[in-house]
Structures are given as structure tokens and as C-alpha cells.
Amino acid sequence: MSAEHVAARLIDDYAHGGPDIAADELWALEAHLEVCRDCRARLSAAVAARAPAVTALVDTVWTGLEPRLAATAGLPRRRRRPAWLSAWLTPTTVPWLAMVMSVTLLALLLDLAGPGTGYGSGPGEVPLLLLLAPVLPVLGVAASWSRGLDPAYELTVSTPRAGLPLVLRRTASVLAVVVPVLLAGGRLTGTTAAQWLLPCLALTSATLALGAVIGVTRAAVALVTLWAAVVLAPALATSRTPLVLHTHGLPVWGLILALATGVVIARRGAYAELGAHR
């Protein structure tokens, strides 16, 4: 494919269903067709000439739809969301982020209540906000790419731009909202960002890395469950800060972050498949 237009061979192969087109070429071809009117016209001509059955099917469908479209043309149109918004958010992102913010606020209030509540930052107590901060963004990441929570899921993942860039944009939108709130809460409770920020980023990247194998939502649920069993529950039972949240454990979290990021980059092609995001 040239920098401006698709090669005639690719157009012909695509008109036949594209069985011999490599996955990366297919992705690039469909992305180009989205923005190039001339190549879409060439594809239409190729389909009409080489796949008349497809042309006949499209004409039949259009014949059935045209009267209905004409009947609804005069109805007031619903306000559409900007096209760029779906690349960063899903319709359910806002309620889920509100839920994450509510959990953060509740943890902050329990910490500020001080001794006598079982939480707080008094002697022998571990801030609840510190225990939750590393996994709160993971919940938002799970919601931002969930088949059950996104009504436009099938349409979104079928586009040629629905690979790793879309996953990273939605992850960044979650972190951009959650991390500043956690930073503010950490200042109020005396929790240093160094204790939870690197584990937070490491768990988020690990969610994406594991998501390339079992799906982002399943990976998030698995990691949150593991965190609750191994870190959260023992810390609440003993009122001691877990070793994984001590500052001397930061190099380990840095290594996890680097390894998970490497896995995400190495398996970036997996995020273009529908099953990788369940």
C-alpha cells in the first residue's frame, strides 16, 4: 500500500473477502478506507465487478431500509456524543468512576476518623486509603473495556483502530481522574505517594498485560481478588502495613511495571482481537 492510496491487488483481495491479506495489512487497509473516498470508490467498483452477489445483497437491504429511513427523516435527532469521546470513555465510565471516587472518599473518612475505628493513621494502624489506592484504578480500567457494561462494545472493537491505542487511551482517562484524587487523599492522611503510586501503575500495567491473554476485565477481577486476599485482609487483621507497600519494596514494583509494559508492547497485536478484551 502506498502512502496515498491502496494498491489494486489489495483492493481486489479485499473485495473477495481478504483471506490472503495479512492481519497488519488488513488493519492498515481498513484504517485507510475510513479516510480515503477514492479508495472506497475503487473498492465499491471492485465489489460490483467481482462479487455481484454482495452487491445484490446490499441493494436488497437498502431497498428495505430506504422507506423506513425516509419515514424517520423528519423526527428530531438525538444529540450525538463527539466521535473522539468514545476513544477515551464508554457510556458507563462516569458511573464507575463515581463509584471509585465514593470508595476513595469513604476510605478517607474512615482514616480521618482516627483511632477507635480500626483504621486511621494512629500508632499501629494502617491507612485504609493506602491499602485500596493501588487497586482502585484497576476497577475503572475493567469497566472501561467490559463487554457487559459497554452497549457499543461490538461496534467499537470491530473498527480497525480498536487495538492497543484504544486500550491505552481509556486506561489513561481512568488514571487521570483517579490518581489526582488519591494524591489529595494521601496528603490528608499522611500517606506518601511513593508507597502506592508505583504499585498502582504496576498493577494497572499488569492488568493490561494479563488482559492480552484472558481479557482485560477478567484480569482486573483476578488481580483485585488476589490483592484483597493477600494484602488487604491480612493488613486489616493485623493492623500492620504490608511489606509490599513498604518503600524498600519499590524496586520490585518497578521491575513488575517494566516487565508488564514489555509484555503489553510485545503482544500489542492481541488487543485488536475481540476475545482479548472480554
SS3 of 108-176: HHHHHHCCCCCCCCCCCCCCHHHHHCCCHHHHHHHHHCCCCCCCCHHHHHCCCCCCHHHHHHHHHHHHH
The label of the residue with cell 452497549 reads 151
* pLDDT for res 62: 78
pTM of the model: 0.61
Q: Average model confidence (pLDDT) for the chain?
A: 76
The answer to whether residue 197 scores a pLDDT higher than 90 is no
The answer to whether residue 2 scores a pLDDT higher than 60 is no
pLDDT band at 225 (very low <50, low <70, confident <90, very high): very high
Over range 222-244, report the average pLDDT.
87
* pLDDT for res 226: 93
* pLDDT for res 73: 57
Rounded to whole angstroms, the Cα distance separating 263 from 204 reads 13
Q: What percentage of the chain reaches a pLDDT higher than 70?
A: 73
The answer to whether residue 116 scores a pLDDT higher than 50 is no
The answer to whether residue 180 scores a pLDDT higher than 90 is no
pLDDT band at 256 (very low <50, low <70, confident <90, very high): very high
* pLDDT for res 257: 92
* pLDDT for res 87: 58
Nearest-5° angle of CA 255, CA 218, CA 207? 20
